[in-house]
Amino acid sequence: MKWEKIITIEQEYKESLARLSQIFESDPDSAEGMEAEFLVTLIENNRRKSTLLPYLNLFRP
Protein backbone atom coordinates (compact mmCIF):
# COMPACT_ATOMS: atom_id res chain seq x y z
CA MET A 1 0.00 0.00 0.00
CA LYS A 2 1.20 3.50 -0.78
CA TRP A 3 1.05 5.92 2.12
CA GLU A 4 0.14 9.10 0.27
CA LYS A 5 -2.45 10.54 2.62
CA ILE A 6 -3.60 10.62 6.21
CA ILE A 7 -5.36 7.62 7.71
CA THR A 8 -9.09 8.18 7.43
CA ILE A 9 -10.75 4.79 7.93
CA GLU A 10 -10.24 1.92 10.35
CA GLN A 11 -9.06 -0.45 7.59
CA GLU A 12 -6.21 1.92 6.69
CA TYR A 13 -5.33 2.16 10.38
CA LYS A 14 -5.17 -1.63 10.72
CA GLU A 15 -3.11 -1.96 7.52
CA SER A 16 -0.65 0.69 8.69
CA LEU A 17 -0.20 -1.06 12.05
CA ALA A 18 0.34 -4.41 10.32
CA ARG A 19 2.91 -2.93 7.95
CA LEU A 20 4.69 -1.11 10.77
CA SER A 21 5.01 -4.35 12.72
CA GLN A 22 6.72 -5.92 9.69
CA ILE A 23 9.29 -3.16 9.19
CA PHE A 24 9.69 -1.69 12.68
CA GLU A 25 13.28 -2.86 13.20
CA SER A 26 14.54 -1.82 9.77
CA ASP A 27 17.67 0.27 9.39
CA PRO A 28 16.54 3.92 9.80
CA ASP A 29 18.48 4.93 6.68
CA SER A 30 16.83 2.30 4.47
CA ALA A 31 13.64 2.77 2.46
CA GLU A 32 11.76 0.57 4.93
CA GLY A 33 13.16 2.52 7.87
CA MET A 34 11.94 5.77 6.36
CA GLU A 35 8.56 4.18 5.66
CA ALA A 36 8.39 3.08 9.31
CA GLU A 37 9.04 6.65 10.49
CA PHE A 38 6.35 7.93 8.16
CA LEU A 39 3.87 5.31 9.38
CA VAL A 40 4.54 6.23 13.01
CA THR A 41 3.72 9.84 12.15
CA LEU A 42 0.49 8.84 10.37
CA ILE A 43 -0.58 6.54 13.23
CA GLU A 44 0.16 9.15 15.90
CA ASN A 45 -1.77 11.77 13.93
CA ASN A 46 -4.74 9.42 13.62
CA ARG A 47 -4.71 8.62 17.34
CA ARG A 48 -4.60 12.31 18.28
CA LYS A 49 -7.52 13.12 16.00
CA SER A 50 -9.64 10.20 17.14
CA THR A 51 -9.02 11.19 20.77
CA LEU A 52 -9.87 14.87 20.22
CA LEU A 53 -12.87 14.57 17.91
CA PRO A 54 -15.43 13.47 20.53
CA TYR A 55 -14.50 16.50 22.64
CA LEU A 56 -14.64 18.90 19.71
CA ASN A 57 -18.16 17.75 18.84
CA LEU A 58 -19.34 18.80 22.31
CA PHE A 59 -18.77 22.43 21.41
CA ARG A 60 -20.90 22.40 18.28
CA PRO A 61 -24.45 23.73 18.59
The Cα–Cα gap between 27 and 38 comes to 14
Bigger pLDDT: 24 or 58? 24
Domain contains 2: no
Q: Do the Cβ atoms of 20 and 40 come closer than 8 Å? A: yes
The Cα–Cα gap between 48 and 13 comes to 13
Binned at pLDDT 50, 70 and 90, residue 7 comes out as: confident
Range of the domain at 16: 10-58
What pLDDT does residue 34 have?
A: 94
Taking Cα atoms as reference points, which of 51, 46, 55 lies closest to residue 8?
46
What pLDDT does residue 48 have?
A: 82
Binned at pLDDT 50, 70 and 90, residue 56 comes out as: low
Domain contains 40: yes
Give the number of domains in the chain.
1
Binned at pLDDT 50, 70 and 90, residue 52 comes out as: low
Domain contains 3: no
Domain contains 17: yes
